Amino acid sequence: MKVIICGAGQVGWQIARHLSGEHNDVTVVDNNPDLVRRATDTLDVQGIAGFASYPDVLDRAGAGDADMIIAATHSDEVNMVTCQVAHSVFSIQRKIARLRAQSYLTAIYSDLYRRDHLPIDVVISPEREVAAAAMRRLSAPAAFDTETFMDGQAQLLGINLDEACPVLNTPLRQLTDLFSTLRSIVVGVRREGSLFVPEPGDQLFAGDDCYVFCHADDVDRTMEIFGKSQKKQERMVIVGGGNVGLEVASTLEKSASRTRAKMIERSRKQAERAAEALERTIVLHGDGLDSALLREAGINRADAMLAVTDDDKTNMLAAVRAKAEGCPMAIALINDPTLVPLMAPLGIDAYINPRATTVSSILRHIRHGRVRQVYSVGDAEAEVIEAEVLSTSPMAGQKLRDIDFPEGVLVGAIRKGDKILRIDGNLRVEEGDVVALFAMADDVPEVERLLQVSIDFF
């Protein structure tokens, strides 16, 4: 597949890394020659320096015979014009644009993106993706990572194991026998910085980060088995009243949980905008690092604190300050992956990576076949792929034990009809079933072959 990626920043680079690693023909376009050089030096991609919306630049990038264009520059308008040029001049079939401004995302204006108006096939909103990720974190506060699958019926949980975990030093196959009714399975383990897919005889140790796939109804029980207690989030402090903070607060106001939130925003203009847009959330104007202001917001009585300003270091320090003031749960928005190893030493409970959430949402629309969802794990080390099994798939009609999965792949869940079944070697996979697979990055192409995706491309 020939793909043009416009924008060689963090998101563009990550998508280029994914797609070039799967032997696609990738060209990166950016008006910053240094970013283009970084992409061509580190990845197997071609690079063009220039403005992505210029027809002559797209022409040099090979738009004449491209299958897809992904517009992920920092400018919404450039991304929109790029898709228009790709459609009108080069007839590129698949167009994905990243749009940030809320006005472009309002549902009542969705007709704007029709083919006869502004032809964009998929609109990605980083702020909405990040807000959704924050809500997932809050739904399982004791997990360091979480993502929902199968229309909310299943969840991937990232759990850090400590000495209090009751199932340490127990072979994983014994856990299956001990908890015979539990619909959950350990699909990945990170030990001493290395991520791997465990064997049935492997044991878990204190300090491991494990990824567990489980039925939504079994989340609390699963967390309990791994030594974590779940607490309902009733009071929340949000530091940062920009697009992400505003989206989170709005979602909290609409949710059934009736969580009470207070927001701290440094910019008076942003604080006033947030106060006008929100109904029940109290907005305080000031610095989220100010202890007195945090205390005024009731940080010592809050169940969780979410730091979502546009500055990573401010988010980290605000989270540390909140913990020092007695808040039991602090979540920080972190763009720079090199800062992630500092989370644990600083006592920050969880983080949200906007780049990973945006990349995951774009990958969902890139994968061939009946792929319903893709989630990028860690620093693009693995993916969880949810897909419908086609009649052409080598898996269709076979028992799980007879399917030739690569070593780096594990089945997390199977849904037949509207029921998610417990993973069992004798379970037969049929056409129309929905499967969720945890796959190490090197094994993703083989997973796509097993799903027989090329038959159903787009």
Predicted confidence at residue 456, as pLDDT, reads 41
Q: Which two tokens stand for residue 340?
A: 């992630």
Lowest mean pLDDT among 181-185, 245-249, 362-366, 447-451: 362-366
pLDDT of residue 446: 84
CATH topology for 368-456 is Alpha-Beta Plaits (3.30.70)
Residue 455 confidence (pLDDT) above 70: no
Model confidence pLDDT, tens digit, residues 119-141: 888 888 877 888 887 877 777 77
- Cβ distance 238 to 211 under 8 Å? no
Confidence of residue 458 (pLDDT cuts 50, 70, 90): very low
Q: Express each pLDDT in 18-75 by its tens digit.
A: 788 777 899 999 999 999 999 999 888 999 999 999 999 999 999 999 989 999 998 9
| pLDDT tens figures, 261-316 | 899 999 999 999 999 988 889 999 999 899 899 999 999 899 889 999 989 999 99
For residues 213 and 146, give the distance between their C-alpha atoms in angstroms, rounded to a whole number.
10
Across 392-407, average pLDDT: 87
Q: What is the pLDDT of residue 420?
A: 87
The CATH superfamily of 130-225 is Regulator of K+ conductance, C-terminal domain (3.30.70.1450)
The beta strands (E) that lie in 174-323 are given as: 184-191, 194-196, 209-215, 235-239, 260-265, 282-285, 304-307
Phi and psi based region of residue 272 (left: phi greater than 0; alpha: psi -120 to 50; beta: remaining): alpha
pLDDT for 66-123, tens place per residue? 989 999 998 999 999 999 999 999 989 889 998 887 777 776 666 777 777 778 888 8
- Given CATH 3.60.21.10, say whether it is the number of domain 2-124: no
- Going from the C-alpha of 337 to that of each of 244, 342, 378, the distances in angstroms are 19, 10, 9
State pTM to two decimals: 0.69
- Do 282 and 264 form a contact (C-beta atoms < 8 A)? no
Specify whether domain 235-356 bears CATH 3.30.750.24. no
Instruction: Tell me if domain 130-225 and domain 368-456 are identical in fold.
Output: yes
Tell me the pLDDT of the chain averaged across its residues. Answer: 85
pLDDT > 50? residue 231: yes
Would you kindly state where each structural domain of the chain is located, as residue ranges? 2-124, 130-225, 235-356, 368-456
What mean pLDDT do residues 210-223 have?
Answer: 88
